Amino acid sequence: DRIMMQGHEVTVLDNFFTGAKRNVEHWLHHPNFSILRHDVTEPILLEVDQIYHLACPASPPHYQYNPVKTIKTSTMGTINMLGLAKRTKARLLLAST
């Protein structure tokens, strides 16, 4: 919310494994906001200048439900976000469990 309120353009990637679209519902029709159903374990081509990588499930019931998916999200997701950051020269914040 803070980044949007500062007037930045925001693109959210989410596979909705643990999240819900209702969490960003209030931004869905804002011209500076877009959301893509995407799993960070797969590479993506975007043009960005900042990346906030928050993709790993943080709740024990969520990550215990599918531990292999959790490990893939943590490792492959981070590798893919690092690759995106390198290609676009973007700053990356990794905040996860």
pLDDT in tens, 46-56: 999 999 998 77
Reported as a pLDDT band with limits 50, 70 and 90, residue 69 is confident
Q: What is the pLDDT of residues 6-35, one digit of tens each?
A: 999 999 999 888 778 999 999 999 999 999
Q: Where are the beta strands (DSSP E) in 1-97?
A: 10-14, 33-37, 50-53, 91-94
Give the pLDDT of residue 88. 98
Cβ partners under 8 Å of residue 93, min gap 6: 50, 51, 52, 53
pLDDT of 97 above 90: no
Give the pLDDT of residue 63. 66
